[in-house]
Structure formats: C-alpha cells, structure tokens
C-alpha cells in the first residue's frame, strides 16, 4: 500500500513523501519513490560560495560553478546570475586590464556564455556589492554579441567563473556568493 505524508516546515517548505510505489505528477515533475524527474528546459538554480583565496587566484584557477552535467549529451543554457560580494574590510586592486570576470564553458579557454563583469566597482568595492549578470546578447545596448558554440564546446561541459586577464591584487578581504540560473538541454531535444 502507498503511504503519502504531507509536511510543512517552519520555513514554509511543503513536502509530500511516498513510502510506496505510486507515481505523483506535479506540473510535469514526476515523483516515483524517492526519485524526482523534472521535465527538460526547467529553470534551475545553483548557489556557489567563492572563498577569498579563490578570488585571489581567478586567473590561474577559474572557479567551477556548474559541474559537467550528470549523464551524456547534455548542455547548459546560461540564463542569468547574481554575484554578491560580502566586503570584508579591504578592497582588491585592479592590476591592469583585462581583469574582468566572465562565465564560460569548461575552463579559462572555453566559450563565453555571459556578458563581461566589470572589475571596476567589484574588485575595488568598499562595501557589500551585488552584480546582475546577463547572458551574451546581441540586443541593442548589449556589450557582447552571441557567439555560436560547437556541440563539442558546450555538450557535457561545466560552467566556470573566470578572470579574463590578470589576477586582482591588494590583499582584498571578502567572499562572493554566486547564484546562477540555468536550463539543461539534451542534444537530442536540440536536434543534434
């Protein structure tokens, strides 16, 4: 027999649990036993904290924001991101351009998926700071045109946050939180 339980947590989260084998479908999300299957193209969110040491070494070591997708023949669509700098009392210094940040596939050599994130005002911030990041766009007023990416360059690849040039200097103190919004596509769904 199936046993369904309903729980509301203090924070307002609503949980439905099934101890049997029945299937529950809510807005195309399928729950079977302990597994949840979401339909493709759903807007997803991930949160990654970036340490002070990682910020100091962005150029040499891009920070992985989304790991390579679990499974095969899958690719991420970057929708947007929010970067919040929790200022710790000392700002970084911009060494010399280029030193902006950007989201890319794979590593520091992968195709860019976001507009550039200006280091001026982020690296040099003297207060808590938030940046809203858009995908690459050819919309009038956008700073970077959309660049076609080969299937191999986007399929089964991670997304990283990378410095486009030299590391920030000056012994800055603080941490960053990245909230990224994305979709996951199968190459079959895209006709590839």
What does the pLDDT read at residue 161?
95
Predicted pLDDT of residue 192: 85
Output the pLDDT for position 64.
Answer: 94
Please name which of 55, 181, 79, 188 lies closest in space to residue 135, comparing C-alpha atoms: 79
pLDDT at site 62: 92
Q: Find the radius of gyration of the CA atoms of the chain.
A: 20
Pairing of strands 159-163, 63-66: antiparallel
- Determine the pLDDT at residue 19: 61
For the chain, residues with pLDDT lower than 50 are 11-12
φ, ψ of residue 14 to 5 degrees: the values are: -105, 125
| pTM of the predicted structure, to 2 decimals | 0.76
pLDDT at 164: 85
Class of domain 40-186: mainly beta
Ranges of each domain in the chain = 1-39, 40-186
């Amino acid at each position: 027999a199936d046993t369904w339980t309903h729980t509301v947590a203090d924070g307002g989260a609503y949980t439905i649990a099934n101890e049997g084998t029945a299937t529950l479908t809510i807005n195309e999300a399928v729950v079977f036993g302990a597994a949840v299957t979401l339909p493709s193209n759903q807007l997803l969110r991930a949160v990654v904290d970036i340490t002070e040491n990682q910020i100091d070494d962005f150029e040499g070591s891009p920070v992985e924001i989304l790991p390579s997708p679990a499974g095969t023949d899958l690719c991420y669509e970057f929708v947007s991101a929010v970067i919040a700098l929790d200022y710790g009392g000392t700002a970084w210094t911009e060494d010399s351009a280029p030193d902006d940040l950007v989201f890319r596939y794979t590593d520091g050599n992968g195709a860019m998926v976001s507009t550039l994130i200006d280091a001026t005002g982020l690296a040099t911030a003297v207060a808590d700071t938030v940046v809203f990041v858009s995908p690459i766009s050819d919309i009038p007023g956008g700073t970077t045109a959309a660049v076609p990416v080969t299937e191999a360059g986007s399929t089964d690849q991670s997304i990283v946050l990378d410095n486009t040039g030299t590391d920030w200097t000056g012994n800055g103190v603080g941490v960053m939180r990245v909230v990224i919004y994305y979709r996951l596509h199968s190459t079959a769904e895209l006709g590839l």
